[in-house]
């Protein structure tokens, strides 16, 4: 009787070992994600006013999103998706390996203090999330490097008008919104963009396996 028990246990262990070996082969065969572009090496400024070289994120997987704080519709949605990702990353126990970065495409109005206020209003958890701004040139370097579309749209009395509708003095004070690329970038530990997600429409369930894959690399 005892002999039969040992035999059954032995066969069970053997089956388990075979299953684990197959799983390891399947995981190893996951296709590597493509490299779309390299994250430009530019120094921006964070919400606390500190210099933030993007090279500082090397060694971590980065989830990068585009915002401007006066954006009424899309940016709150992008921020909401990033909050969900942050929570899922925390649940997966890899918060110390993943950094969330939102950069403003409106550096003229989005000072570090304005970004900090935005973070407070949107209840951002700063543990592994940074909001960045910079000079117009610095932000433009990042925008160009990531092939981001940015278009300023001026309004008068609630209606879009061309910039030529204002004289130089009034143009400086005119209300404007910004049309921009709605995208999240997944960046690997070496600073390469490896996945492009549809920003405000990102499905977090589909994003998480990609993030996990980059964490495992």
Q: How far is the CB of 190 from another protein (least distance, A)?
A: 24
DSSP 22-87: HHHHHHHTSPPPP--EEPP--EEEETTS-EEEGGGGTTSEEEEEEE-TT--SHHHHHHHHHHHHHH
Quick one: which of 23, 198, 206, 216 contacts another protein (CB under 8 A)? 198
Q: How many CB atoms lie within 10 A of CB 1?
A: 4
Quick one: which of 142, 180, 207, 213 contacts another protein (CB under 8 A)? 180
Q: Are 199 and 207 contacting, i.e. CB atoms less than 8 angstroms apart?
A: no
Distance CA 8, CA 126 (A): 53
Q: How far is the CB of 101 from another protein (least distance, A)?
A: 19
Region binding another protein by CB under 8 A among candidate stretches 5-13, 57-65, 126-134, 196-204: 196-204
Question: How many residues make contact with another protein (CB under 8 A)?
Answer: 40
Quick one: which of 50, 109, 190, 216 contacts another protein (CB under 8 A)? 109
3-class DSSP state for residue 195?
strand
Quick one: which of 47, 99, 199, 202 contacts another protein (CB under 8 A)? 199
Query: Under the criterion CB under 8 A, does residue 97 sit at the interface with another protein?
Result: no
Query: Under the criterion CB under 8 A, does residue 164 sit at the interface with another protein?
Result: no
List CB contacts of 162: < 8 A, sequence separation 6 or more. Answer: 154
Quick one: which of 23, 80, 127, 161 contacts another protein (CB under 8 A)? 80
Q: How far is the CB of 62 from another protein (least distance, A)?
A: 19
Query: Under the criterion CB under 8 A, does residue 162 sit at the interface with another protein?
Result: no
Site string for another protein, 112-141 (x = CB under 8 A): --x--xx--xxx------------------
Query: Under the criterion CB under 8 A, does residue 160 sit at the interface with another protein?
Result: yes
Give the C-alpha distances (Å, rounded to integers) separating 16 from 28, 130, 174, 202: 18, 44, 68, 37
Query: Under the criterion CB under 8 A, does residue 110 sit at the interface with another protein?
Result: no
Half-sphere exposure of 73 (CA within 13 A, CB side): 6
Q: Are 35 and 165 contacting, i.e. CB atoms less than 8 angstroms apart?
A: no
Q: Contact positions toward another protein, by CB under 8 A?
A: 69-74, 76-77, 80, 109, 114, 117-118, 121-123, 149, 151, 153, 155, 157-160, 170, 173-177, 179-183, 196, 198-201
């Amino acid at each position: 009787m005892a002999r039969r028990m040992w035999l059954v246990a032995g066969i069970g262990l053997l089956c388990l070992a075979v299953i684990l070996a197959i799983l390891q082969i399947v995981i190893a065969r996951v296709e590597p994600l493509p490299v779309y572009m390299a994250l430009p090496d530019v120094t921006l400024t964070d919400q606390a006013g500190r210099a933030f070289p993007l090279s500082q994120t090397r060694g971590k997987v980065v989830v990068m999103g585009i915002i401007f704080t006066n954006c009424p519709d899309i940016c709150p949605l992008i921020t909401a998706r990033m909050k969900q990702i942050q929570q899922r990353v925390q649940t997966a126990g890899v918060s110390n390996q993943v950094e969330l970065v939102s950069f403003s495409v409106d550096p003229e109005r989005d000072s570090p203090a304005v970004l900090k206020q935005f973070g407070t209003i949107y209840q951002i958890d700063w543990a592994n999330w940074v909001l960045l701004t910079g000079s117009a040139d610095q932000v433009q370097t990042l925008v160009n490097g990531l092939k981001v579309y940015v278009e300023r749209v001026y309004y008068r009395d609630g209606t879009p008008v061309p910039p030529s509708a204002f004289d130089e003095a009034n143009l400086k004070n005119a209300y404007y919104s910004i049309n921009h690329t709605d995208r999240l970038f997944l960046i690997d530990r070496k600073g390469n963009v490896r996945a492009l997600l549809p920003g405000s429409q990102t499905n977090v369930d589909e994003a998480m396996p990609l993030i996990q894959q980059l964490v495992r690399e």
